[in-house]
Structure 1
Amino acid sequence: MMRIFLVPAILIAAMPGAFAQTAPVAPTAIARASPPAHVRLVEPHLHVTRAGKGAPRVALTFDACMGKTDTRILNTLVEQQVPATIFVTARWLRTNPEALAVMLAHPDLFELEDHGLNHIPAVDKPTLVYGIPAAGSPAAVEQEVKGGADAMVAHGIPQPQWFRGATAKYSPSAIAQIRGMGYRVAGYSVNGDSGASLPAKIVEKNYLSAKDGDVLISHINQPTHSSGEGVAKGILELKAKGVQFVRLQDFAERGDDDTTE
């Protein structure tokens, strides 16, 4: 299920994480049989504990899938002292040492979590998710999750506690497997940029729709897209409205589809 769509459904990229190209995957990672007629997928919601009275509480989360870094977003977070949770892949880590150094230099602002090894949907059955081949087996799901975490630790990042897969869609059995590996699975409640495919004005409007307890998802790896401008403006406007920004590690959270409990 998709949330906060303010764009025609014809936009192929209107889903978390699916705008950027995916990495080539070894033949062993994806089952070669024809995709089954139906694989049940879920796209979990996630909320942080609501503030109730006083300033509304919103968690900003960003996917760093691959490619480069949108410094419009990163600089806004640092300059405005806005905390955020960043989900990084091993691919992004390899090509963005400067941005990683900025994040590691501000541990009070940035919580870094696992977005996988090669940005492959965490689905343990052979299928396509928005046209992207899924991991396709439990072994490949484990490789995607553990490979991403191992790369993070190798880059000096603390062991992650959360995992968010490419496209943010999962098979229920893969969620159970990832939970069994010790991770919580990060859904969201407001789709800020639909895979960095939306124009700035729509992204800004999506940000301003966030309410107390919402978890926003956007992307920090598409510096040439206008979405990043909307993200930066949305952050500034939410701050001006008195929103309290939090990371996932800062407050209790609740996700559906057995993703956090």
Structure 2
Amino acid sequence: MKIMRFLKEAQEKTGLLENNKIIELSCSPIEAINSKNIDESFQKDMNKLNDVQILPPVSPSKIVCVGLNYSDHAAEINMELPEEPIIFMKPSTSVVGHLDNIIYPASSSQVDYEGELGIVLSKEARNVKSEDAADYIGGYTAVNDITARDLQRKDGQWTRAKSFDTFCPMGPCIETELDPMNQNISLKLNGEFKQKSNTKNMIFNVYELVEFISNIMTLKPGDVIATGTPPGIGPMNIGDTVEAKIEEIGILKNFIKKS
């Protein structure tokens, strides 16, 4: 099922997406995911998708990101495969949703796209084993790990380059039922394909990532792990439209605007 958040009459709502219509639910996204069965007691009004403002599907306390996690990306930049995941973090204030603007900061001259599969945690996870990780994953969403590449090179570390407000679009929904080991992933810039791969090319799969990260820090319900980007990273310009797509989730579309 596809769970999403939306704005209706100035109030945040949870919805179940079916055939371009949203069934309003009387619970939070995480409660909907953990229920496993959305019966009539949860269901309220029916809304047309085009009549509401789509919000980020969750409000994470943190976004943990993985660098260099696709074998075809490593080959593209001629780098050796890492022995363990390379992780960094984005603040919750960087999160925006589907159809929101990405603001190009005045302090940067190169802002890049990075389309990724996002893991959404539905339970608190600490010291989880990979074979148990599926029990803690509520579903998956699309993420665009926006990066001020020139500032990343200048700083020698990644915090400033990854953390600007609007630098973590995610959505449009959480898909609770998909095979994360075999999903086509792509990204278009102004309608032209820039990234194309499949999650089977991940160096560390989603379950291994949950194990690795949860043995470092406690993951809270609603936290998101951005699992790395495939080949084809490149710059965007003010006025561009970027669309990150995960096969069974859908398209995350955003617009690049001047600060």
TM range (shorter): under 0.3
Structure (1/2) with the larger strand percentage: 2
The one of the two structures with greater contact order (alpha-carbon pairs below 8 A, sep at least 6) is: 1
Could you tell me the TM-score, scaled by structure 1's length?
A: 0.26
Could you tell me the TM-score, scaled by structure 2's length?
A: 0.26
